[in-house]
Structure 1
Amino acid sequence: MANVTMQDQVVIIGAGIGGLSAALLLAARGFGVTVVEAAGGPGGKMRQVTVNGHPLDAGPTVFTMKAVFEQLFAEAGLDFALAVPLRRLDVLARHGWPDGSRLDLHAEREASRDAIATLAGAEAGRLYAEFAREAEAICRSLEQSFMQAERPSPFGLVRQAGIGAMLRTKPFSTMWSALGRFFPDPRLRQLFGRYATYCGSSPFRAPATLMLIAHVEQDGVWQIEGGMHVLAQALRKAIEGLGGVFRFGQRVDAIEVQNGRASGVRLANGETIPADFVISNADRAALATGLLGQEATRSVPPLPRGGRSLSAITLSGRSRFSGFPLHHHTVLFSADYPAEFAALDSGIVPADPTLYLCALDRHGAVAPEGEEGFLMLINAPARGDEAGAGLPEIETCHRLLSQALNRHGLALDPGPTPPVLTRPQDFAALFPGTGGALYGMATHGAMASFQRPGSRSRLPGLYLTGGSVHPGPGVPMVALSGRLAAEALIRDRASTRRFLSTGMPGGTAMRSALTAGSG
C-alpha cells in the first residue's frame, strides 16, 4: 500500500491571479501543483497585448491592498518587495467632466478634501471628510467578517460583527442614493458612484456597501514597475521555484470524477492528468454550463443571465496625446450618468460613455518622450455570446472612444501600428461561459455578495477561486479567493488523513482509494 506521506497532487485550472495565489500557497506547503492554462502565459484577465513590439497591460491597471500579496509571498518564504517593485502614487486618479472642470484625488485624505473644497466649496470638503470616515468604517467592519471569511452569510455576519455593524455597512441602500447625502454636487456623486463599476455593477443598483472601495484606494494605490503583468510573472517564478509545473497552451475539456469526487482533468488533446484535488480558476459560468464536463455542472449553482456583471470595450496601443493633461489614471466622465447606466441596463453600449484611460508609461503626470502606451476602457453589456445582440461594430467602437476623448479636449495622434480593440464578444471568447462579463456576477441588491459560491464546490475534491466566487472581483479580492481555496483544501486533506489514520486497523495511515494512483 502507498504511504500517506506521498505527495498529494493538485491540478489548478487557469493561471489567473486566484489560481496563482492558491498554487503558491499549496506549493509552499509541499503539494505537487500543476497549473493548466489555455493561454500562452500566466495572468488570466491580467493579460497583455503586443503593439509594435511593445507588451502592454490590457487588463487590471489599479493595484491596491499590497499587504495581501506581502503576506502571500512571506508565507512562501519570499520577499514581495524584491519580486514586485512598486511606486506609491501621490495622485490616485485625475477626473474630468464635459464642462471643463477637473479634480485630482490624492493619496493624502486632507489633500483630497482641499481639492474637493476648491472644486465645489468648503461644505463639499467637509462632507467628503465625513464620507471618507464612513467608507473606512464599512471597510473595517467587513475586512475580517466578510472579505477573509470562507463562506460568509448575513446571519453569520450578524453573529460575528453584531447587527449594528452590519447595518452600518448600508446593504439596503443603493450606492447612488447614499452618496446623495454626502455629495449634493452631481460631479462628486458621479465620481464616487463610479467605484461600483470596479465590481462591474451599476451605482444605481449596487448596495452602498461598495463605498468601502473608496477607502481601499485611499489606503494606497501603487504602480508596478514594468506593468501589472510583472505580478503574474513573479507569482509564476515563485511557484516554479517551489516545484510547481505550468502547462500553458493546454485547454481543459472536463473535470474527471471518480466515486463522486473530482479526480483530475482531461485535456483537449485527450490527455488525463490525475489529481487528489482540483481547483478551478475558471468562471463559475463555465462550470455551470458544462464547459468543464457534464459531471461538473452540479458543482455550482447556475448564474441567471440577468445577473452578469459589466463587460467592456477596450483599446490598447501606443500614441502621443495632447490637450487634456493626463495622469497615470484618468477618468473622463459622461454628461449624463443616469442615462449611461440606463443604456447599459438595457443591454446597449451608451452613446456618451465614461472613459477610463491608463497612461501606462507615465510616472504620475510625467509623460515619456515620444509615444506612450495606453489602455482605454468604456463599460459595455455582457452580451458577447448572443447572436444579434446589437453590440457595436469595430468602426462604431473606435468612434465612441474618439468622441469621448474629443469631448474633453484630448487628442490622440495614432502611431504606425493600429491599436488592439477588444469587445464583449472577444472577452466572451477569451473567458468561456461569461458572455464577456469581466467581474462574475453583478453586485446588485443587498444579498448579491452572499450569493457567490465559496471555496468549496458542491463536488467533493473540487475547489473554486477567481472573481466569480467569494469574496468577488478585483486583484486583491481574487488573491484572497485563492488563499481561501488553498486553506479549505489543506483543512479537508488534514481531516481526511485524520479519519484514515484512526479508522484503519492498528491506526496505520493508509492512502485513500479516492486518491490512489495519482502519483
Structure 2
Amino acid sequence: MADTPTVIIGAGIGGLTTAALLSARGMPVTVLEKEATPGGKVRQLDVDGTPIDAGPTVFTMRPVIDAIFEAAGACTDDHLQLTRADTLARHAWDRTGHLDLFADHERSVDAIGRFAGSNAARGFREFSTEAKRIFDILDEPMLRGSKVSWPLPLMWRIGLWRVGALHAIRPYESLWKVLGEHFADPRLQQLFGRYTTYCGSSPFQTPATLMLIAHVEAQGVWKIEGGMSALANALEAVARGNGTKFRYGARVEEIQNDRRRVSGVKLESGEVMPTRSVVCNADPSALGSGMFGDAARRAASVTKPRDRSLSAMVWLAKSNTAGFDLDHHNVFFSSDYTAEFEAINAGRVPSDPTAYVCALDHGTMGTAPQRFQIIVNAPANGDTHAYSEQEKDQCTSNMLSRLRSCGLELETPLPHSLVTPSDFSKLFPATGGALYGRASHGWAASFLRQGSRTRIRGLYCAGGATHPGAGVPMAALSGKLASEAVLSDRISTRWYHRKATAGGMSMRSAMTEATG
C-alpha cells in the first residue's frame, strides 16, 4: 500500500487546502465529495435562476490564504480578484442611526466618538489594544500550531518566561463582563459581543479571550469577485494542477481499519479504495456517531447537543430596497440581546432577532432587484425539530420586522429561499445543524476541539469544526495542520517525490505580512 493515495473525504475549504498542499509535495491525493461541487459550507444555491451565496460571506486574514497558495506553488492574485473593503461593516439599531467600522482604525475611533461620545471612543481604543494583545499571544502558539492542552503545554509554547500571558488572555472572565469594562453604551456592547457569533457562540458564555476576533476583522475584510465559492474553485484548481484527483457524487460509507491503522474507505457504491491515510473534512461528530462505520467510531468524540454551536435561519433573496443605505456587510441589532440568546438556549428562534444582511451586489452597476443573504442565529436542533411552514413564515415576518425597525424596507412578500437548521442537519450529518462545531463556551472549549490526529492511526481531521476553529481562514489552517500531520507520519517511508514549492509549508504570521 506504499503507493496508495491519501484519501480526503469532503471538498470543503479544509479538505481543499489539505489536497493542494499534499499534492504540491508530490503525494498522490484523491478527494471524495458527496455533493456535485467543491466548497462544503461554501456554496451557492439557485433562487429563481440566480445563484446566491449560501455560506460564509466575510473574508478576513487574507495573508493566511496567500501563504497557502504560495506553499502550494501558486499565487492568489492569479486565481482570485480581491478588493479590500474600506468599510468593515455597517451596524444599525432601532432608528437611532447607524455606525460604521472602518479598515482605518482612526476613522473607526472618530465614528464611535460621534456616535456614542468621547468616553466610548477612548473605550474602543483600550478594547482594540487588549484584543490585539490577546491575538499576538495566541496567534503562533495556538491558532497556527497543532492542538495543545491547558495550561502547561500552551504555556510552554507561549514561553515559560511570559508568565503573565495566561492571565492576559482572560480565559476565566466572560466576554460580556469585559465588554462592560470598555463600553458603557449597551449598543457597543452588542456590536463587539456579536463577534463571538463568528464562531457560533454566545457573548454571554464565551471567555473574554475571544475579543481577538474583533482584532482579526479590524486587520482587513476583502470582497471576492464571484463570491466565496470562487475561493473554493481556486483551491480546487490549484490542487488539480498539482495532481489531485477529484470524484464528485462519491459518498463514503465506511472508513476501514484493522484496529491498528486505517486500511481503506468504502464508498456507497460498494467500491473499496485501499489507503493508509484518510483526512476527514467533516464534523468530527460524524466519525464518533458512526456515520463512517462502527470501526471509525473511536476516532473522535460526539459533540453533545448542549455543547453545539449556533445554527442559523438563512434567507437567500432578491429584492428592491428602500429607507436604508446598505453597505456590503450590515447588522441590524435586536432590542434585547439577553432575551435573544435566552431564546436560542431554550431551543427557539428569537422572536426579535439580530439580522445580518449581506448585500451581495453592493458596489456593482447591476440593476435592481439586488441579491441578499440574510442570517438570523438559531439553535442547532435540526435533528430533533422539524420547522413547519407556519414557523418559517413567522421567522420571516420577525426578520423583516427587525429590518423595518432599523429603517430597511424589503419587498413584501419577499421572494426568497429559506434554509433552516433542519436543512443544515441533513447536509452536515451528526451536527443538528451546528455550523461551527463545538461552541466556544467556557475556558476549556477551545482545548476540547478535535485536533488533526484522531485516535486511529492514519485518520486525520480538517475543517471548521476542528482545531483551530470556525471560519474560512481557520478551516484553511486546519487543512494546513492536517497536511503537516500526514507528511510527518508518512515521511519516513520516502515513497513519494517532493515537488519544489515557493515557500514550502512554513507560513508567517498573518499580522506580520503585508495586508494591503
User: TM-score normalised by the shorter chain: which range applies?
Assistant: over 0.9
1:244 is matched with which residue?
244
RMSD (CA atoms):
1.7
1:485 aligns with 2:482: yes
Q: How many angstroms apart in 2 are the aligned matches of 1:390 and 1:200?
A: 24
1:61 aligns with 2:61: no
Contact 2:352 / 2:399 at 8 angstroms: preserved in 1?
Answer: no
Question: Aligned in 2, Cα 1:338/1:390: closer, same or farther, shift over 3 Å?
Answer: farther
Cα deviation, 1:119-153, whole Å, max 9, x if unaligned, reads 11111111101111111111111000100111212
Amino acid at match of 2:323: G
Contact 2:286 / 2:302 at 8 angstroms: preserved in 1?
Answer: no
Q: How many angstroms apart in 1 are the aligned matches of 2:277 and 2:245?
A: 15
Amino acid at match of 2:129: R
Amino acid at match of 2:63: A
Q: Which of 231-240 and 257-266 deviates more? A: 257-266
State the TM-score, normalized to the length of structure 2. Answer: 0.92
The runs of 5 or more residues in structure 1 that have no matched partner are 499-519
Q: How many angstroms apart in 2 are the aligned matches of 1:144 and 1:193?
A: 24
What's the CA shift for 1:100?
Answer: 2.3
What's the CA shift for 1:157?
Answer: 1.4
What's the CA shift for 1:400?
Answer: 2.1
What's the CA shift for 1:259?
Answer: 5.0
Give SS of 1:163's match.
coil
2:508 is matched with which residue?
none
1:233 is matched with which residue?
233
2:512 is matched with which residue?
none
Amino acid at match of 1:163: V
Cα deviation, 1:451-503, whole Å, max 9, x if unaligned, reads 011100001110001111100101000100000000011001024569xxxxx
Cα deviation, 1:55-97, whole Å, max 9, x if unaligned, reads 1111000000111111111112111112111000000000000
Instruction: List aligned pairs for 1:35-114, cutoff 5 A.
Output: 35-114=31-110
Give SS of 2:313's match.
strand
Cα deviation, 1:380-401, whole Å, max 9, x if unaligned, reads 0000000468997222222122
1:224 is matched with which residue?
224
Instruction: Report % sequence identity.
Output: 49
Q: How many angstroms apart in 1 are the aligned matches of 2:25 and 2:301?
A: 31
Q: How many angstroms apart in 1 are the aligned matches of 2:347 and 2:229?
A: 31
Q: How many angstroms apart in 1 are the aligned matches of 2:213 and 2:36?
A: 32
1:448 is matched with which residue?
445
Instruction: List aligned pairs for 1:71-470, cutoff 5 A.
Output: 71-154=67-150, 155-161=152-158, 162-258=162-258, 260-363=260-363, 368-387=366-385, 393-413=391-411, 418-470=415-467
Give SS of 2:164's match.
helix
Q: How many angstroms apart in 1 are the aligned matches of 2:388 and 2:318?
A: 29
What's the CA shift for 1:99?
Answer: 3.9
Q: How many angstroms apart in 2 are the aligned matches of 1:310 and 1:148?
A: 24
- Aligned residue pairs: how many? 491
Contact 1:349 / 1:392 at 8 angstroms: preserved in 2?
Answer: no
What's the CA shift for 1:42?
Answer: 0.4
Q: Which of 280-289 and 161-170 deviates more? A: 161-170
1:494 is matched with which residue?
491
Contact 2:354 / 2:376 at 8 angstroms: preserved in 1?
Answer: yes
What's the CA shift for 1:8?
Answer: 4.5
Cα deviation, 1:430-465, whole Å, max 9, x if unaligned, reads 111100000000000001000011100001110001
Q: How many angstroms apart in 1 are the aligned matches of 2:285 and 2:224?
A: 31
What's the CA shift for 1:18?
Answer: 0.4
Q: How many angstroms apart in 2 are the aligned matches of 1:338 and 1:375?
A: 25
Question: Aligned in 2, Cα 1:392/1:438: closer, same or farther, shift over 3 Å?
Answer: farther
What's the CA shift for 1:52?
Answer: 2.7
Question: Aligned in 2, Cα 1:367/1:450: closer, same or farther, shift over 3 Å?
Answer: farther
What's the CA shift for 1:408?
Answer: 1.5
1:509 is matched with which residue?
none
What's the CA shift for 1:245?
Answer: 1.1
Q: How many angstroms apart in 2 are the aligned matches of 1:165 and 1:340?
A: 34
What's the CA shift for 1:409?
Answer: 2.1
What's the CA shift for 1:373?
Answer: 1.0
What's the CA shift for 1:171?
Answer: 0.6
Cα deviation, 1:413-432, whole Å, max 9, x if unaligned, reads 269x9421100000001111
Give SS of 1:93's match.
strand
State the TM-score, normalized to the length of structure 1. Answer: 0.92
Q: How many angstroms apart in 2 are the aligned matches of 1:328 and 1:74?
A: 29
Question: Aligned in 2, Cα 1:197/1:367: closer, same or farther, shift over 3 Å?
Answer: farther
Contact 1:8 / 1:31 at 8 angstroms: preserved in 2?
Answer: no
Cα deviation, 1:335-355, whole Å, max 9, x if unaligned, reads 000110111111111110000
Amino acid at match of 2:194: R
2:505 is matched with which residue?
none
- Runs of 4 or more above 3 Å deviation: 387-392, 495-498
Give SS of 1:316's match.
strand
Contact 2:387 / 2:422 at 8 angstroms: preserved in 1?
Answer: no
Q: How many angstroms apart in 2 are the aligned matches of 1:198 and 1:348?
A: 20
2:504 is matched with which residue?
none
**Bigger Rg over Cα:** 1
Amino acid at match of 1:467: G
Q: How many angstroms apart in 2 are the aligned matches of 1:40 and 1:217?
A: 32
Q: How many angstroms apart in 2 are the aligned matches of 1:117 and 1:8?
A: 61
Question: Aligned in 2, Cα 1:394/1:388: closer, same or farther, shift over 3 Å?
Answer: closer
Q: How many angstroms apart in 2 are the aligned matches of 1:418 and 1:344?
A: 26
